[in-house]
């Protein structure tokens, strides 16, 4: 059930701080760039939330009928410790600690990244370029920035001149920071620093003898700055100006701020129309991050091999848990939250199964088209997945009423409901129906056994046992419904 791009979609633009009507640069096409992972360790759940959020965006644009070019990079060089201009490359450090080549580290954790996102049912991006595959493009951009007078070379390294740039541009407009405040709060440069000013950032760094990842350039054997790679890859595949740039909230400053400065310095125009930032996933009330150790790996959740959760959870349940919060909201990870998400997910899947058995009537007592548009309205309001999910649960109520005969739908409306429910659950939210496999299959067999025992008790007029089974199942969110054709169950 693919739509045309006729829906009025509003996106919260981090640059303006407001929701803005989405107007693509090219009709019916979307160019979207999302900052990908630095592949020096296993991807953790906090990283995955960002990529699930933008997978939702990707899926919804595709559902609306847009042709989407989704570019998401792999950072395999240039990202130094603490996101700074000094220190050791994160990948090179991992390689040194494990006595491996850096590209062995890159390969290992890129594979892990892909396998993990596949478990979450993320669609692959249209293009997935690497930083090391675009060294030439980065060097060419540096040349342009130098020629424009916004960068300088010192001892083989090249730095972006933020103060010079800010004289004619607005450095800080994305993050809302004032350069004067940054200067006032910065430390004095040490005599060893090559920078003119503390706010300047590296475009190219001369490699020290111990730095094993290095490439030739007009200035030295060295490596590109971390911020530069995204400017090079986004503009190469999406053009000097494109529709959407996304990433985690923590990248807004300095990474994305520097990207804007680099693009404006090298091309003379604003590179992106809509900046989108996904918020963080917290654990124990603190940001989930590799560097602090406050994180949990997705495979630890799927296997149940962790000290936080009471049981294992299927990847699609974890995805559903993440989509129950708006992508710009902080989401706290806990056992109770996952248990609640699993119960809700199972209820939705049970309703889908119930809907497949419902027959149409002559007339409709429920306005399916209005419900469907309300679901679109949720997604059109800055991809509001929790409101969409609330609309889906509203449909579940009516499906139960259709099943017990208190509501009715004609053939066209019933088909529209089936198509819409399937589209929103599986095409847009990207969920998988796993009720009939794994734990869902075990649950079904267990409940069917209890129903059989209850029926036998009722036949023997042992209503105490019969009621005990019914009430115990109800307490666990499983409602039994007795009808002419037997007893069925639904998840509450």
Q: Strand pairing partners for 277?
A: 247
- CA dist 63 and 423 (Å) reads 8
Taking the CB of residue 129, how many other CB atoms lie within 10 A of it?
21
Q: Give the three-state DSSP class for 219.
A: coil
Q: Give the three-state DSSP class for 4.
A: coil
- What's the pTM value of the predicted model, to 2 decimals? 0.88
CA proximity to 140, closest of 164, 166, 158, 163: 158
Q: pLDDT band for position 429 (50/70/90)?
A: very high
Q: pLDDT band for position 293 (50/70/90)?
A: confident
70 pLDDT above the threshold of 80? yes
What is residue 448's predicted lDDT score, i.e. its pLDDT? 81
Instruction: Quote the tokens at residue 449.
Output: 């056994």
- Give the percent of the chain with pLDDT over 70: 94
CA proximity to 172, closest of 153, 157, 158, 185: 185
What DSSP string runs through 361-420? Answer: -SS-SS-HHHHHHHHHHHHHBTS-HHHHHHHHHHHHHHHHHHHHTSS---HHHHHHHHHH
What is residue 193's predicted lDDT score, i.e. its pLDDT? 79
- Residues whose CB falls within 8 Å of the CB of residue 247, separated by 6 or more in sequence, listed in order: 34, 35, 50, 255, 256, 276, 277, 278
Phi and psi based region of residue 381 (left: phi greater than 0; alpha: psi -120 to 50; beta: remaining): beta
CA proximity to 383, closest of 127, 64, 65, 123: 64
Fold adopted by 10-278: Rossmann fold (3.40.50)
What is residue 84's predicted lDDT score, i.e. its pLDDT? 79
Q: Which of the two residues, 256 and 457, has the higher pLDDT score?
A: 256
Cis peptide before 140 (omega within 30 of 0): no
Cβ neighbourhood burial of 67 (10 Å; 0-12, 13-18, 19+)? middle
- Residues whose CB falls within 8 Å of the CB of residue 327, separated by 6 or more in sequence, listed in order: 53, 56, 276, 278, 279, 383, 385
Q: Which of the two residues, 436 and 481, has the higher pLDDT score?
A: 481
| Of 103-117, 258-272, 360-374, 430-444, minimum mean pLDDT range | 430-444
**For residue 142, what are the CA distances in angstroms to 80, 230, 375?**
19, 13, 46
CA proximity to 117, closest of 230, 36, 238, 31: 36
Instruction: Quote the tokens at residue 188.
Output: 């004095």
- CA dist 61 and 54 (Å) reads 11
- CA dist 417 and 355 (Å) reads 9
Q: pLDDT band for position 88 (50/70/90)?
A: confident
Q: Strand pairing partners for 242?
A: 272
What is residue 287's predicted lDDT score, i.e. its pLDDT? 80
444 pLDDT above the threshold of 90? no
Phi and psi based region of residue 329 (left: phi greater than 0; alpha: psi -120 to 50; beta: remaining): beta
Every domain of the chain with CATH number 1.10.730.10 lies at 282-428
What is residue 1's predicted lDDT score, i.e. its pLDDT? 42
| First-to-final CA distance of the chain | 28
What is residue 474's predicted lDDT score, i.e. its pLDDT? 84
Residue with tokens 């530069």: 228
- Residues whose CB falls within 8 Å of the CB of residue 397, separated by 6 or more in sequence, listed in order: none
Dump pLDDT digits (tens) for 334-351: 999 999 999 999 999 999
What is residue 488's predicted lDDT score, i.e. its pLDDT? 74
What is residue 284's predicted lDDT score, i.e. its pLDDT? 75
What is residue 440's predicted lDDT score, i.e. its pLDDT? 53
Torsions phi, psi for 374 (to 5 deg) = -65, -35
Every domain of the chain with CATH number 3.40.50.620 lies at 10-278
15 pLDDT above the threshold of 70? yes
Q: pLDDT band for position 215 (50/70/90)?
A: very high
Contact in structure between 233 and 36 (CB atoms under 8 Å): no
- CA dist 377 and 324 (Å) reads 16
What is residue 192's predicted lDDT score, i.e. its pLDDT? 58
- CA dist 136 and 126 (Å) reads 22
Phi and psi based region of residue 491 (left: phi greater than 0; alpha: psi -120 to 50; beta: remaining): beta
445 pLDDT above the threshold of 90? no
What DSSP string runs through 250-304? Answer: GGIIIIIHHHHHHHHHHHSS--EEEEEEE--EEETTEE--TTTS----HHHHHH-
Phi and psi based region of residue 368 (left: phi greater than 0; alpha: psi -120 to 50; beta: remaining): alpha
Dump pLDDT digits (tens) for 152-190: 999 999 999 999 999 999 999 999 999 988 887 766 655
Mean pLDDT score, 27-38:
96
What is residue 484's predicted lDDT score, i.e. its pLDDT? 64
Fold adopted by 282-428: Isoleucyl-tRNA Synthetase; Domain 1 (1.10.730)
What is residue 492's predicted lDDT score, i.e. its pLDDT? 60
Contact in structure between 46 and 279 (CB atoms under 8 Å): no
């Amino acid at each position: 059930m693919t739509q045309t791009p006729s829906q009025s979609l509003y996106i919260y633009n981090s640059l303006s701080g407001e929701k803005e009507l989405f107007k693509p640069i090219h009709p019916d096409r979307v160019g979207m760039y999302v900052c990908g992972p630095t592949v020096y360790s296993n991807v953790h759940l906090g990283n995955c939330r960002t990529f699930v959020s933008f997978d939702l965006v990707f899926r919804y644009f595709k559902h609306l009928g847009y042709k989407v070019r989704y570019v998401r990079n792999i950072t395999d060089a240039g990202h130094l410790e603490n996101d700074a201009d000094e220190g050791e490359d994160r990948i090179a450090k991992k390689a040194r600690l494990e006595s491996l080549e850096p590209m062995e580290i890159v390969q290992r954790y890129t594979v892990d990244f892909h396998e993990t996102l596949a478990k979450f049912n993320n669609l692959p991006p249209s293009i997935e370029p690497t930083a090391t595959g675009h060294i030439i493009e980065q060097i060419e951009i540096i040349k342009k920035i130098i020629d424009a007078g916004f960068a300088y070379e010192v001892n083989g390294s090249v730095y972006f001149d933020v103060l010079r740039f800010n004289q004619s541009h607005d450095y800080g407009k994305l993050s809302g920071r004032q350069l004067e405040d940054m200067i006032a709060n910065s430390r004095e440069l040490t005599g060893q620093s090559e920078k003119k000013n503390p706010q300047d950032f590296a475009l190219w760094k001369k490699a020290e003898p111990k730095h094993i990842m290095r490439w030739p350039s007009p200035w030295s054997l060295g490596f590109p700055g971390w911020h530069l790679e995204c400017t090079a890859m986004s503009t190469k595949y999406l053009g000097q100006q494109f529709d959407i740039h996304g990433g985690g909230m923590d990248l807004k400053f300095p990474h994305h701020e520097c990207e804007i400065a680099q693009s404006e310095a090298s091309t003379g125009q604003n590179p992106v129309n809509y900046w989108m930032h996904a918020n963080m996933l917290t654990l124990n009330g603190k940001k989930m991050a590799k560097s602090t150790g406050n994180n949990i790996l997705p495979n630890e959740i799927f296997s149940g091999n962790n000290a936080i959760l009471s049981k294992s959870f299927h990847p699609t349940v974890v995805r559903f848990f993440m989509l129950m919060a708006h992508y710009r909201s902080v989401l706290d990870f806990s056992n109770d939250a996952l248990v609640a998400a699993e119960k809700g997910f199972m209820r939705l899947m049970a309703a889908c199964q119930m809907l497949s058995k419902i027959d149409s009537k002559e007339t409709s007592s429920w306005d399916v088209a209005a419900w469907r548009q309300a679901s679109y309205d949720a997604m059109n309001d800055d991809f509001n997945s929790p409101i969409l999910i609330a609309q889906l649960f509203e449909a579940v109520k009516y499906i139960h009423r259709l099943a017990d005969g208190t509501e009715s739908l004609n053939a066209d409306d019933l088909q529209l409901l089936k198509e819409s429910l399937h589209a929103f659950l599986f095409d847009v939210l990207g969920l998988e129906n796993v009720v009939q496999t794994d734990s869902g299959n075990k649950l079904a067999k267990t409940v069917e056994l209890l129903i059989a025992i209850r029926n036998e008790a009722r036949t023997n007029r042992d209503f105490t046992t019969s009621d005990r089974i019914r009430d115990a199942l109800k307490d666990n969110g499983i409602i039994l419904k007795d009808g002419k054709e037997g007893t069925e169950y639904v998840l509450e």
